[in-house]
Structure 1
Amino acid sequence: MNQPPFTIRIRTEQEQDMDWMVQPNAITFHQALEVIAQVLPQTSVTAFEYEDEDNERITVRSDEEMAAMFQAYFETLSEDDIQCGLLPPLIIYPRVGKTPQNRNKFGLKIDTHPSSKSSKPVQTVKHIPRQNQKPKTEPTENLAPTQVPVNDPNIAGAPTILIPQPQNQTEFHLQNEPDLKFLQVLGGGSGGQVYRALHQPTGTVMAVKMVKLEVDQKTQEQILSELDILNKCQSSVIIGFYKAFFNENRIYICTEFMDGGALDKYAPIPEPVLGRMAVNIIKGLCYMWSLKILHRDIKPSNILVNTQGQVKLCDFGVSTQLERSIAKTYIGSNAYMAPERIKGEDYGTPAEIWSLGITLFELATGRFPYKHNPEKPMGLLSSIISEETPQLSDDLFSPDFVNLVAHCMQQKPEDRLTLEDISIHPFIQRHNDGNIAVIASWVQNRLEELSQNRMTS
């Protein structure tokens, strides 16, 4: 069996673990010890252990035993899990001979890159605080293999220890508005305003969404408690979350800043670019669904991009309290709701698939699929329920893309594509090459065009 990339979690005795992305058929036992030595630099490690299906510790001391570990790991996974990249981390336990006083106490990240003359695989190890760890069954997002940038300065060098940039595991002491200096309005609507802001104590630029909510203290606590689930979402395709806090009946949700902004301003997007964006959108949905989280608000304005070509989901309705609190004025998102949600029926992942189809349709064509009169939102909702579902033009788009969108936008939930269907769909497979440079180049050019248009208008 061709074994796909997945995550090995190196579990230490301290309050942190290290995640290591591996290609199992491309690493050796000796290389594994080298990475462990970087994680635990003042120890003597000659072996490591893993737990079998009976929770018994098995020791690994050779390439053969490591291959057996990988084989045992993949035998615990279903074929569907492997196909759609829902792979839980494999936890290993270094056998430590000497205990140091401090082990990587600064939470460093290790990037090990292959030299041009070496067969070593691309490996990434990142710090995972123990308190933010997910359950043992949590999958990692592996729709596409890790790619090495051609201009990476470490590509011909030895393993290098790098101090990581602030991510969602960073602790920001955001307790009140004075910590933030608001620099620019990025957008907004009935759900609230979004700003580019500077967190003055750390010098970190972030995106801050401010929503006015007239709610009592108990509801505020419930909202903040539910928003803490964002801390579980540590993925390259989910926006990094820093903190949320209330101040005078306004909630501030502080997240990673993406310099390209939301996708709604870019439509129409060429199919080769949109296809690679779609791969990352689906990876994000796969990751969230694996954590039993529904996005509930998939639309172009909730998908962000940056000039490095990264595409990330944001603003998902994880807080039911928050969603209820702004529901009276938050009409816009209803346009992307599946028919069963509009009817007030039970819904699940098929409703997310519908919203994905609507979103891809709009991003590809530059227009919303249905006739949309903002002054008569009920007319739009009635159209979504009763009218024939719009179709993409066969003359303008590839048959695979037309097929994908059509099978997402089916009236009956049971007729829509499943997560597994989408992951192996020919359109997604064709664009699942990890080439974010295509996205980066196009986004940079479009931003320049938009800037020039503003200057001349």
Structure 2
Amino acid sequence: MPRRTFSLEDFEVGRPLGKGKFGNVYLARERRSGFLVALKVLFKSQVEQEGVEHQLRREIEIQAHLRHPNVLRLYNYFHDRRRVFLILEFAPRGELYKELQRCRRLDATRTATLMEELADALLYCHGRKVIHRDIKPENLLLGLKGELKIADFGWSVHAPSLRRRTLCGTLDYLPPEMVEGGGHDEKVDLWCLGVLCYELLAGHPPFESPSAADTYRRIT
């Protein structure tokens, strides 16, 4: 996709691909090139209301600089008075979560392929001092041939020292060091890789419990 300044008029906006907390994602075609993209539309008022402007800026800055076949590309972004638009790579087969819902569990060969792709992408990110911190089926998309794409870098961080203390991520995927309130590094992503592998094969996460307190206990 050409690098230039964009506005909404540059796109034909099609069907919705997904809905998030701060806006929606749509299939769109760049008029000049005919290039298909996913256009993520975020409402500034909601972003400001939740106080996550810094998180959004960080997501854009980090994802825009990553180049790996298993990391979803962020091509560019633009904004108007009310909205911020992220121009993202279109992953035709959607969320891994939806495939898991449909199939209930994946076979060993398919799981091994996805784990290899995810591990390779995480090694790439960690080599650039980027920790994703929210690896889960909802944040992993599938390309045209079923290849995995890491998406949603909203909780990611560029940490040159690879040490952080913020509690983030998703309950079933939280590593022990986060549950216990200690510092963490890039190994939190590797913990999530293991949890994901279990969920893909078994059809449910390994520490799933009726209450959050029980889940915390099982993790630690």
TM-score by length of 1: 0.40
Paired letter, 1:232: H
Task: Flag the 1:226–1:351 CA change in 2: closer, same or farther, 3 A.
Answer: closer
DSSP 3-state at the match of 2:130: coil
Aligned runs of 1:368-383 on 2, under 5 Å? Answer: 368-371=205-208, 379-380=211-212, 382-383=213-214
Write the deviation string for residues 334-378 of structure 1: whole angstroms up to 9, x where unpaired.
Answer: 4422233244432111211222222222222222334466xxxxx
Note the C-alpha offset of 1:319: 6.1
For 1:245 and 1:383, locate their aligned partners in 2 and report how far apart those are by CA, in whole Å. Answer: 43
Of 4, 7, 12, which residue of structure 2 is paired with 1:181?
12
Q: Does 1:250 align with 2:83?
A: yes
TM-score by length of 2: 0.77
Aligned length: 202
For 2:8 and 2:136, locate their aligned partners in 1 and report how far apart those are by CA, in whole Å. Answer: 29
For 2:176 and 2:84, locate their aligned partners in 1 and report how far apart those are by CA, in whole Å. Answer: 30
Q: Does 1:207 align with 2:38?
A: yes
Identity %: 25
DSSP 3-state at the match of 2:29: strand
Paired letter, 2:189: E
Q: Which has the larger radius of gyration?
A: 1
Q: Does 1:229 align with 2:48?
A: no
Of 327, 345, 354, which residue of structure 1 is paired with 2:191?
354
Q: Does 1:306 align with 2:143?
A: yes
DSSP 3-state at the match of 1:383: helix
For 2:73 and 2:94, locate their aligned partners in 1 and report how far apart those are by CA, in whole Å. Answer: 14
Task: Flag the 1:337–1:247 CA change in 2: closer, same or farther, 3 A.
Answer: farther
DSSP 3-state at the match of 1:228: helix
Aligned runs of 1:33-432 on 2, under 5 Å? Answer: 166=1, 170-174=2-6, 176-190=7-21, 192-214=23-45, 215=48, 223-224=56-57, 227-267=60-100, 268-317=105-154, 333-371=170-208, 379-380=211-212, 382-387=213-218, 389=219, 411=220
Q: Is the 8 A contact 1:181 1:197 kept in 2?
A: yes
Q: Is the 8 A contact 2:95 2:142 kept in 1?
A: yes
Write the deviation string for residues 265-309 of structure 1: whole angstroms up to 9, x where unpaired.
Answer: 122111111101110000000000000001111011211222324
Q: Is the 8 A contact 1:362 1:368 kept in 2?
A: yes
Q: Is the 8 A contact 1:334 1:342 kept in 2?
A: no
Task: Flag the 1:332–1:223 CA change in 2: closer, same or farther, 3 A.
Answer: closer
DSSP 3-state at the match of 1:308: coil
Task: Flag the 1:318–1:242 CA change in 2: closer, same or farther, 3 A.
Answer: farther
For 1:237 and 1:188, locate their aligned partners in 2 and report how far apart those are by CA, in whole Å. Answer: 22
User: Gaps spanning 5+ residues in structure 1: where?
Assistant: 1-165, 321-330, 374-378, 390-410, 412-457
Paired letter, 1:180: F
For 1:194 and 1:335, locate their aligned partners in 2 and report how far apart those are by CA, in whole Å. Answer: 25
User: Gaps spanning 5+ residues in structure 2: where?
Assistant: 158-167
